[in-house]
Amino acid sequence: MAAEELQGLSSILVGVSGEYFVAAELSRRGHVASITLRNTRGMDVIATNTDASVSVGIQVKTNRHSKKDWMLNDKCETYHSPNLFYVFVNLVGLTDRPCFHIVPSIVVAERITKSHRAWLASPKRDGGDRKNTSLRRFKDPDSEYLDRWDLLGLDGPQSNNPFKPKPLRGSA
């Protein structure tokens, strides 16, 4: 099924599909992943390494096209933590593997804040001022974060990872 055929899926099913794909991919990579209850604030998946010494929360955002941009809201500008990540998912078709973009929450917060301010400062087509909105858009046009599962820090020491999650208390 082509990406166009996915347009008939409800946004709820698209979102849930993304969560399950992320959990499946983490499991395939040897990690423990659990989908949270629907009312868990800011996290759709919790993932840990097999000895439970590192744990991260993951917010999943899924689209059903090949564009590398996803809609967010203004809460994402202030809701970030060293152990919180976004996995942006492209569902490009039923028979195609989804694309995963793994981004630290602080990067998302900084980028959407900066891009929204720039958008507000730019004039509308008619030259008028833009009105503020709660909508934000995250873009990864150069695929900088494509398949960057290493940023989660679940594979062990990542000395080259500036976003390495903090170990749990009491673990080495």
How far is the first Cα of the chain from the last one, in angstroms, to the nearest whole number? 47
Residue 45: the pLDDT is: 98
The answer to which of 3-7, 37-41, 95-99, 110-114 has the lowest mean pLDDT is 3-7
Hey, what's the torsion of the CAs at 116, 90, 44, 163, to 10 degrees? -60
Q: How confident is the model at residue 165 (pLDDT cuts 50, 70, 90)?
A: low
Alpha-helical (H) ranges within the chain are 11-28, 105-121
Q: How confident is the model at residue 159 (pLDDT cuts 50, 70, 90)?
A: very low
Query: Percent of the chain scored above 90 by pLDDT?
Result: 66
pLDDT, tens only, 88-105: 999 988 888 999 999 999
Residue 137 has pLDDT above 70, yes or no: yes
The domains located in the chain, with CATH, are 3-152 (3.40.1350.10)
